[in-house]
Chains A and B, each alone.
Chain A
Amino acid sequence: MTDFFQNTLGMSYEFAWFTATIAGILLIALPLMLAVAMIIYVDRKVWAAIALRRGPNVVGPFGLLQSFADGLKVFLQETIIPSAANKGLFLIAPIVTFTVALLAWAVIPFGPEAVLADINIGLLYVLAISSLGVYGVVVSGWASNSKYPFFSAMRAAAQMISYEVSIGFILICVILYAGSSNLNTIIVAQIGHGFGLVNAFAFNLLLFPMWVMFLISSLAETARAPFDLTEAESELVAGYQTEYSSMSFALFWLGEYANVLLMAALNAILFFGGWLPPLNIDLIPWFDIPGFIWLFAKIFFFFFVFSWVKATVPRFRYDQLMRLGWKVFLPLSLAFVVLTSGWLMLTRYG
Chain B
Amino acid sequence: MIQTLAFYLFAVLVTASATMVILSRNPVHSVLWLILSFFNAAGLMVLVGAEFIALLLVIVYVGAVAVLFLFVVMMLDIDFSELRAGFMKNFPIGVAIAVVLLTELVLGIGAYRAGALQLGAPTGDAVPIPGRGNIDSLGAVLYTDYLFLFEAAGIILLVAMVGAIVLTHREQKATRGHQNIGKQVRRNPDEATVMKQPEVGAGVEL
Question: Using a CB–CB distance below 8 Å, which chain A residues touch chain B?
Answer: 14, 86, 89, 119-121, 124-125, 127-128, 131-132, 134-135, 138-139, 142, 150, 153-154, 157-158, 160-161, 164, 168, 181, 319-320, 323
In the bound complex, do residue B133 and residue A121 qualify as a contact, i.e. CB atoms below 8 Å apart? yes
Asked if residues A119 and B71 are in contact (CB atoms below 8 Å), the reply is no
Minimum CB–CB distance from A263 to chain B (whole Å) comes to 16
- Chain B residues lying within 8 Å of A150, measured Cβ to Cβ, are 74
Chain B residue with the shortest CB-CB distance to A168: B59
Asked if B59 and A181 make an inter-chain contact with CB atoms under 8 angstroms apart, the answer reads no
Partner of A121, one of B55, B67, B70: B55
Of chain B, the residue at the smallest CB distance from A128 is: B58
B59 contacts A154, C-beta separation under 8 Å: no
Give the chain A neighbours of B47 by CB distance below 8 A: none
User: For B78, what are the chain A residues with a Cβ–Cβ distance below 8 Å?
Assistant: none
> In the complex, which residues of chain A have a beta carbon less than 8 angstroms from the beta carbon of B51?
119-121
A-B contact pairs, 14 of them (CB 8 A): A89-B28, A120-B134, A121-B51, A121-B133, A124-B55, A127-B55, A131-B62, A134-B63, A138-B70, A142-B28, A158-B71, A161-B67, A164-B63, A323-B181
Apart from A119-B51, A138-B67: 17 A-B pairs, beta carbons within 8 A:
A86-B26, A89-B28, A120-B135, A121-B134, A127-B55, A127-B59, A128-B62, A131-B58, A131-B63, A131-B64, A132-B63, A138-B74, A142-B74, A154-B74, A157-B67, A157-B68, A323-B181
Task: Give B43-68 interface residues, CB cut-off 8 Å to A.
Answer: 51-52, 55-56, 58-59, 62-64, 67-68
Q: Which residues from chain A contact B135 at a C-beta distance below 8 Å? A: 120-121, 181
Say how far B57's CB is from chain A's closest CB, in angstroms. Answer: 9
Instruction: Across the interface, name the chain A residue whose C-beta is closest to B133.
Output: A120
Identity of the chain A residue whose Cβ is nearest the Cβ of B179 in the assembled complex = A319
Q: Chain A residues near B64: list those with CB within 8 A.
A: 131, 161, 164
Distance between A156 CB and nearest chain B CB, rounded to angstroms? 10
B35 within 8 A of A: yes
Q: Which residues on A sit within 8 Å (CB–CB) of B74?
A: 138, 142, 150, 153-154
Measured CA separation A131–B57 after assembly (Å): 12
Say yes or no: B63 contacts A154, CB within 8 Å.
Answer: no
Residue on A with the closest CB to B59?
A128
A151 vs B23: C-alpha distance when bound (angstroms): 28
Contacts of A320 in B (CB 8 A): 181
How distant is A78 from chain B, measured CB to nearest CB, in Å? 27
Chain A residues whose CB sits within 8 angstroms of the CB of B26 once the complex forms: 86
Q: Does any Cβ of A come within 8 Å of B1's Cβ? A: yes
CB distance from A170 to the nearest CB of B (A): 15
Question: Which residues from A are CB-within-8-Å of B67?
Answer: 134-135, 138, 157, 160-161
Residues of A within 8 A of B13 (CB): none
A128 lies within 8 A of B63 (CB): yes
Q: Closest B-chain residue to A158, C-beta based? A: B71
- Chain B residues lying within 8 Å of A127, measured Cβ to Cβ, are 55, 59
A86→B74 CA distance, assembly (Å):
13
Contacts of A121 in B (CB 8 A): 51-52, 55, 133-135
What is the chain A residue whose CB lies nearest that of B71?
Answer: A157
B32 within 8 A of A: yes
By beta carbon, the residue of chain B nearest A143 is B28
Residues in A whose Cβ lies below 8 Å from that of B75: 154
* Contacting residues, chain A, for B35 (C-beta < 8 A): 135
For B56, what are the chain A residues with a Cβ–Cβ distance below 8 Å?
124
How far is the CB of B128 from the nearest CB of chain A, in Å?
A: 15
**Chain A residue with minimal CB distance to B52?**
A121
- Tell me which residues from 163 to 201 in chain B have a Cβ below 8 Å from any Cβ of chain A: 179, 181
Across the A-B interface, the 9 shortest Cβ-Cβ residue pairs: A131-B63, A128-B58, A120-B133, A124-B55, A128-B59, A128-B55, A157-B71, A142-B74, A157-B67
A168 to B63, CA, bound (A): 12
Q: Which of B62, B67, B133 has the most CB of A within 10 A?
A: B67
User: What mask results when residues 4 to 27 of chain B are scored 1 for a CB within 8 Å of chain A, else 0?
Assistant: 000000000000000000000010
- Give chain A nearest CB distance to B188 CB in angstroms: 16
- A139 touching B68 by the CB < 8 A rule? no
Q: How far is the CB of A14 from chain B (nearest CB, A)?
A: 7
| A residues less than 8 Å from B1 (CB atoms) | 14
Q: Which residues of A contact B55 (CB under 8 A)?
A: 121, 124-125, 127-128
Which of B1, B51, B59, B135 has most chain A Cβ within 10 Å? B59
Is there an interface contact between B32 and A124, defined as CB atoms closer than 8 Å? no
Distance (whole angstroms) from the CB of A16 to the closest CB of chain B? 14
